[in-house]
Amino acid sequence: MTAKIVVGLGGGDGESRALAYAKKMATLIGDCELIVVYVVEWSPYTFQTPEENAERHKRREQEIETATSRVVKPAVDALQSDGFSARGMVRHGDVADLLEDIAKEESADQIVVSRTSRAGVLKRVFGSSTAHLVMHASVPVTVVG
């Protein structure tokens, strides 16, 4: 049976470490598929004007297209050229919830993400997406520093 590892990318400098760790694990496992995921964050608490709501779908599609071409496709292409079984996807929503949902949908064995160094008032009050994912995921989560 093929093992599956979901690799969450955030477009930052930590993603190379997350990919390197996922590659190491896939090599150790043997028959393993890497599922590269980028989540375009969206908050239901963002207030928008009626004009912004009218443009929302178009903007969402553009964000997904940009993330696919700039982040996910290059990562998947590099993994495949290194001989790994890999595919990618981009979703729009809450990072922690979507990585967990994808792990469940794909029957993944593990989620790999990188730790981000960005901090702000919001994260100090509500916690980071990484912390939320670690506490609530149904599969093991590896956070690469």
Render pLDDT for 74-110 as a digit per residue (tens, 0 to 9). Answer: 999 999 999 999 999 999 888 899 999 999 999 999 9
pLDDT in tens, 34-54: 999 999 887 655 666 777 767
* Sign of the Cα pseudo-torsion (22, 85, 27, 1, in order): positive
What does the mean pLDDT of the chain come to?
85
Q: ∠ at Cα 83 (31, 130), nearest 5°? A: 70
Q: What is the pTM of this model?
A: 0.85
Please determine, for residue 140, whether its predicted confidence score (pLDDT) is greater than 90: yes
Give me the domains of the chain, ranges plus CATH numbers: 3-144 (3.40.50.620)
125: enclosing H helix or E strand: helix 121-126
| Per-residue pLDDT, 43 | 61
**DSSP assignment letter at 42:** -
